[in-house]
């Protein structure tokens, strides 16, 4: 016999089931990964931009005459890698550095090779004796008695800034006996207003430069002769 339904009978409350985390926890998915990559790309681009801005600020922060700014700009590139044919702004060869430094300093010239920069000085009457060097003057070197092989910027106090293939980077070095023994007698002062000069001093330069570069014949170091042992 069926019992009538008793509304007053207590009912048992069944607690809700907990969600299975395996079904409700999602990974980043394709869209999430794509967004992450885009964010990283944006951050990387921003960092590169800031690095370039810092380099531009360093170059733009140079002041003084064109020659002084060229020295400052060349010094700002110290440590940059040497690459044959490199003309900046991050890699240089020797003439690429001197050309870049003077272009950034405000000199409008198109002579990029070492021989071309020397010819520029000859044609414009801007050669000077290496006994009258001023910061910013271009120094030229002949390693083997032939053509011009190397160029650097005189930094003052017997030092030179140059992109060295031997060191593999832009360095500032002392003009020791080895360098002086291969130094041409004529340097080039690309622009007026070299450090420590005025208009009158600028006229005091070699008026008849040699058509061919000549090598210094008086090295600072005494050559050592090694005789073969015959005993």
- Percent of the chain at pLDDT exceeding 90: 52
pLDDT for res 145: 83
Catalytic residues: 94, 150, 162
CATH no., domain 60-201: 3.90.1720.10
> Other CB atoms closer than 10 Å to residue 126's CB: what's the count?
21
Interval 110-119 mean pLDDT: 91
Among 122, 98, 133, 109, CA closest to 214: 122
Express each pLDDT in 150-183 by its tens digit. Answer: 999 999 999 999 999 999 999 999 999 999 999 9
Residue 61, class by beta-carbon neighbours within 10 Å (0-12 exposed, 13-18 middle, 19+ buried)?
Answer: exposed
pTM equals 0.60
pLDDT at 207 over 50: no
């Amino acid at each position: 016999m069926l019992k009538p339904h008793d509304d007053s009978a207590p009912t048992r409350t069944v607690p809700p089931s907990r969600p299975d985390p395996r079904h409700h926890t999602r990974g980043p998915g394709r869209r999430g990964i794509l967004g992450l990559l885009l964010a990283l790309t944006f951050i990387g681009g921003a960092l590169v931009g800031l690095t370039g801005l810092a380099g531009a600020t360093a170059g733009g922060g140079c002041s003084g005459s064109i020659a002084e700014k060229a020295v400052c700009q060349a010094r700002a590139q110290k440590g940059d890698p040497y690459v044959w044919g490199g003309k900046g702004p991050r890699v240089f060869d020797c003439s690429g550095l001197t050309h870049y430094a003077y272009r950034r300093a405000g000199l409008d010239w198109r002579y990029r090779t070492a021989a071309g920069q020397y010819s520029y000085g000859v044609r414009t009457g801007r050669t000077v004796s290496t006994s009258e060097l001023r910061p910013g003057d271009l120094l030229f070197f002949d390693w083997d008695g032939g053509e011009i092989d190397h160029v650097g910027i005189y930094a003052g106090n017997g030092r030179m800034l140059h992109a060295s293939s031997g060191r593999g980077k832009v360095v500032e070095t002392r003009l020791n006996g080895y360098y002086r023994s291969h130094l041409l007698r004529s340097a080039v002062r690309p622009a007026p207003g070299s450090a420590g000069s005025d208009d009158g001093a600028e006229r005091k330069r070699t008026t008849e430069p040699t058509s061919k570069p000549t090598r210094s014949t008086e090295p600072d170091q005494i050559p050592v002769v090694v005789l073969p042992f015959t005993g």
